[in-house]
Amino acid sequence: MTATPTTPATPTNPTALDAIRRIWGFDTLRPLQAEAINAALDRRDALVVLPTGGGKSLCYQVPPLVTDELTVVISPLIALMEDQVDGLRLTGYPAVALHSACTPAEQDDAYAALNTGSARLLFVSPERLLSDGFTDWLAELPNPSGPPGVRRFAIDEAHCISAWGHDFRPEYRQLATLRDRFPDACIHAFTATATERVREDITSQLGMRDPAILVGTFDRPNLIYRVVPRVDRDTQIAEVIARHTDGATIVYCISRKDTEAVADMLRDENINARPYHAGLTPERRRKVQEDFSREKLDVVVATVAFGMGIDRSNVRCVLHAALPKSIEAYQQETGRAGRDGLEAECVLLYSSADAIRWSRLFTMSAEESGSPPEVLQAQLDLLEGIQRLASGMTCRHKALSEHFDQPYPLPDCNACDVCLGENAAAPDATVIAQKIISCVARAIQHSGFGFGASHIVDVLRGSRTAKILDRGHDQLSTYNLLRDIPKPTITSYINQLIDQDLLTRDPGKFATLALSPASRDVLTGARQVTLLQPKHPVERAPVAEEVTLSTDELDLFDSLRTLRRQLAEERGVPPYIIFSDDTLRELAAVRPASESTMATVKGVGTQKLEAFSDAFITHIAAWCAEHDLATDARPGTRQARRERASTPRTISPKKRKSFELFDRGESVEAVAVTQGLQPRTITTHLAEWIASRKPESIAPWIDQPTYDRVAAAAGQVGTDFLKPVFEHLEGSISYEQIHIVVAHLRTQA
């Protein structure tokens, strides 16, 4: 059974549908959820591949309520287990977890619920499941509907069992013993990322019998993918984050050191960011994850260890400061953005040098662990795949879909840097390439050995370092040929030449450059070269929201988020466990004045209605009275699309207020005081106001001499980044003033 439907379905079992309505407040399901639930109810093995945010959890949560049996959920993260158990208990669902962070009292309560047969879900880690005597104990657990023992296992993050997957974990391989130990149990495996080869390996390793293979659609149309040449990492990261001050951002780095450095840089820019990596104490990691989930922290700079199980719906940006290790990892990590279905941005700052770093890490890890050669080769193959995607110039949505063996039906996604036409070609690219290649050749010829990219860049820019002078490289004919191009830009050009096989890089310790067979064609002019430089992002039409809100309704939505945060803090749970942003958005549109109306809103189940109706109905009534809004304004139909309001969502209330003040000519300082925000944030608002309004003059904010100096500098180094302008002016004009002038210059282009 292979299914890839494009429209939601409902379970065939009426008891399942009743549970879904009563506990979760849904009338319809997402694609493949019904098929997965039906497979479990039919006691059939299944492999379910749904994208991040696709609703895998519901697939194993519903069946135990229908069959009155325990399901054991194998999950790799304690934080994920805790959040799921907290959320389920809030709906009245009998779920427990056993892990190392449980208190003795919590363990006693869990064992009691399991021994009496009252629990329906048990969350455990692979290590706990396979510990001495644990499976023997599971085999003797009471089963209200039949003989003792567990009848159903759900394995989350199942790709970890495959050596061909992007996150192979040896402990997952031991889960293959479940089939022998529990021959009558059905096994359901869940993952967000699995190619056909990985899917076949998962089903083989777990000994699945005639499994239902349910593969959802991998494409996430609400995500805008951008692959940008990494030129000035810190400046590029800060500028991307500045576009998303109204939501959360996750920044991914390769190393622990990088996460610390980027987080420090962002804090220097008055952006509250914290690092997350395996080198932190468990307490610090837990604190960062909790604060992010509970909306007390909006920017996390992390290694790939962060994010699994994070269900925060308003992550508006995932930024890769370096190349991910595989397309699967990229798909999973970017999938943490836009889980509410609204538009989100995924930016990858690409440099081919990152592939060298990953290759070294993989090789070192394989040597230390004694992994077989085929495992290392699989990792290197995956790395080559993501490098091809990043350096390629085909639609990103199309490339991702086809990697997972799914055709992409549209000729133009209108949601990636390629289709939006954001890849600006550098002028005189072939001449620049000739100078770079010639410099590599001259340096080798002069010294008899190769040099790294940094040294070649210094020669081309005319630096007088000791290394250059001692080797006589200041006498090379290519010395100082690219003195007017910033160092990071030349470095990016070198990486692009490597991607095009016009230069090669030794993967060894010193990563020295050398000519390739195609280098001569460039030098002789037989081959033309294209080099890309970062370009300001293009605006695109927003993705339609399930519930489009008017200006007043947006203000109410923001106040409901505050109420939700207060209720979550009282209960010690993440806000999304109370209600999702989707539910709050519909509450703001419907504005229920009674429990009966609130019950029609999607995501409001029986238990949550009883727990939270008083707080939300009272708050909504008071808000509507104060702002002259009608209650019970729209019917809550729980359908996939809602009636669209006449005023579409454009900007956040804070930005909207800033825009109104800028319309009156208020200064940045005055707006910052009125809004209670940092001047740097208000500067970002002003830049967006300028881009939107396109005023003829920005005299209220920038005097003419300052404007002229910045414009002249930008004419020399371009307007793509602020730092080159700042450096050209030798720090005599602030970043904030440069930001405002550059925003205006872009409207004049």
Angle between helices 668-675 and 679-693 (to 10 degrees): 110
pLDDT band for position 648 (cuts 50, 70, 90): very low
Q: Domains in the chain, please, with CATH?
A: 2-215 (3.40.50.300), 223-422 (3.40.50.300), 425-533 (1.10.10.10), 551-627 (1.10.150.80), 653-748 (1.10.10)
Confirm if 83 and 577 have CB atoms less than 8 A apart. yes
Token representation of residue 290:
């909790």
Q: How many CA within 13 A on the CB side of residue 620? A: 28
Angle between helices 429-447 and 453-460 (to 10 degrees): 110
Q: Per residue in 669-695, pLDDT tens? A: 888 888 877 777 788 789 888 888 889
Percent of the chain, pLDDT > 90? Answer: 39
Give the contacts of 683 (CB within 8 A, at least 6 positions apart): 668, 736, 739, 740
CA 573 to chain centre: 22
Q: Which segment of 132-146, 444-458, 533-547, 584-598 scores lowest on mean pLDDT? A: 533-547
What is residue 521's DSSP assignment?
A: H
Q: Per residue in 567-614, pLDDT tens? A: 998 888 889 889 988 899 899 999 998 888 898 898 898 889 888 999
**Amino acid in the structure at residue 545:** E
State yes or no: pLDDT of 544 exceeds 60. Answer: no
Please name the helix (run of DSSP H) or strand (run of DSSP E) that holds residue 358, with its range, or none.
helix 353-369
- Distance of alpha carbon 731 from alpha carbon 307, whole angstroms: 38
Confirm if 233 and 349 have CB atoms less than 8 A apart. yes
Handedness of CA 501, 507, 508, 512 (dihedral sign): positive
More confident residue, 210 or 30: 210
What is residue 174's DSSP assignment?
A: G
pLDDT band for position 456 (cuts 50, 70, 90): very high
Token representation of residue 699:
């005299």
**Radius of gyration from C-alpha coordinates of the chain:** 28
pLDDT at 162: 80
**Amino acid in the structure at residue 7:** T
pLDDT band for position 81 (cuts 50, 70, 90): confident
- Distance of alpha carbon 397 from alpha carbon 409, whole angstroms: 10
Instruction: Tell me the longest C-alpha to C-alpha distance in the chain.
Output: 87
Q: What letters, b where the CB count within 10 A reaches 16 and e where it falls short, cover 614-646?
A: eebbebbeebbeeeebebbbbebebeeebeebe
Q: Which segment of 148-157, 192-201, 530-539, 695-704 scores lowest on mean pLDDT? A: 530-539
Q: Per residue in 274-331, pLDDT tens? A: 999 988 888 898 889 889 988 899 999 998 766 555 667 789 999 999 999 999 889 9
Give the contacts of 191 (CB within 8 A, at least 6 positions apart): 47, 48, 49, 156, 157, 158, 159, 202
Token representation of residue 123:
């969350």
Tell which residue, 109, 57, 99, has the closest CA to residue 76: 99
Token representation of residue 202:
């998962």
Confirm if 294 and 568 have CB atoms less than 8 A apart. yes
End-to-end CA distance of the chain: 55
Tell which residue, 410, 684, 691, has the closest CA to residue 538: 691
State yes or no: pLDDT of 540 exceeds 60. Answer: no
State yes or no: pLDDT of 638 exceeds 50. Answer: no
Tell which residue, 555, 444, 551, 557, has the closest CA to residue 504: 444
Confirm if 41 and 13 have CB atoms less than 8 A apart. yes
Confirm if 57 and 86 have CB atoms less than 8 A apart. no
State yes or no: pLDDT of 156 exceeds 70. Answer: yes
pLDDT at 651: 54
